[in-house]
Amino acid sequence: MNALTLQWHDAGQHKTQDIYEQQSSQNPGTVRIGRDPLRCDIVLSNLTVSGLHVEIFFHHQQQRFYIRNLRSQNPPIVDGRQLVQGEMPLTEGSSISLGQIKLNVTKVSMANIPATILLPPHPPIHIGHHQYSPTPPAPPPGVYGLECPKCHKVSPAENLQIGCRWCGTSLAAAVSVLVAPSN
């Protein structure tokens, strides 16, 4: 599962929070950070932080975490640059300043999709004195998986009958995607 770990100090306490690609939050698909407990998933107490300041989310096409500014008058500073509008990618080691609070991205974990197991070619068949080598099917140009139509995570093709192991959605309507090129 894709995850990002944040660490910061607030109100004299050291805090750590993991943010997962798919986790329950007040605004599905994002984790909002700010001072307002009614609108934010991570609540900071410092008065220099806006009520609703930023949100962090996982971008499926880019396969990475991003931060989006939600407050034009009090923009965050991400890796030394002011994020006035839009979004920026986050990486391990990124620093985020919200007012006087500094959050650090200490870890980014990306899920590895298990490879599909390919069977070895069939052995030759002996009939009398003759040997026949059945022609094995051409190997696929890469390893394929099924992209869940709901959560967009990629499962091995064997999970077609089981469904998405993350959200349980049927993979009958899933898109086949190339996960890794063959060697």
Amino acid identity of residue 85, one-letter, is: Q
pTM score > 0.75 for this model? no
Report the alpha-carbon distance of residue 8 to residue 69 in Å, rounded.
Answer: 18
pLDDT (tens place) for every residue of the chain, 183 residues total: 789 999 999 988 999 999 888 776 777 789 999 999 999 999 999 999 999 999 999 988 888 999 999 987 889 999 999 998 889 999 999 999 999 999 999 999 887 544 444 445 555 556 666 655 554 444 445 666 777 777 777 777 776 667 777 777 776 666 666 665 544
CA–CA dist 76, 84 (Å, integer): 7
Distance, CA of 158 to CA of 146 (rounded, Å): 9
Contact criterion met (CB below 8 Å) for 170 and 146: no
